[in-house]
Structure 1
Amino acid sequence: MGAQKIAHVASKNPSVVKEIIYGISLGTACGLLWKMHHWNNQRRTKEFHDLLEKGQISVVVEDA
């Protein structure tokens, strides 16, 4: 009986509208995650440059 259910599911036609909605949703979610990653990198870079300008950090190694 299990083989009949599998064959029935495999022969069912895909819904084009559902596939489009799934694709748009997945693309939007991945795009948002990618954008958040870039916003985080931009924030860290800005903080680094602000600290350099204030003189709180330096990229030059001090001699001991």
Structure 2
Amino acid sequence: MAATQKIGHAVYRGPSVMKEIFYGLTLGLMAGGLWKMYHWNVQRRTKEFYDMLEKGEISVVVEDE
């Protein structure tokens, strides 16, 4: 019976503030990086469109046949 009393139990100490801050910063930076990459891609495609439009390679006016 004495051996069963020596078994340690996990004690809940509450949330770790430093872990929570680290997790929040990590997730925030990852989400911000993905958002920024998305906007860089949209900006690149828009720039390519206007460059092609300026060079005359494409047109936004439908040609009559």
TM-score relative to the length of structure 1: 0.81
CA distance in 1, matches of 2:38, 2:29: 14
Query: Aligned residues, how many?
Result: 56
Q: Which runs of 5+ in 1 are unaligned?
A: 1-7
Richer in helix (by share)? 1
Query: After the TM superposition, which segments of 4 or more aligned residues of structure 1 sit over 3 Å from their partners?
Result: none
Structure-1 residue corresponding to 2:38: 37
* Structure 2 alignment gaps of length 5 or more: 1-9
Partner of 2:18: 17
Larger radius of gyration: 2
User: What is the aligned-residue identity percentage?
Assistant: 68
RMSD: 1.5
TM-score normalised by length of structure 2? 0.79
Q: Which amino acid in the other structure matches residue 35 of structure 1?
A: K
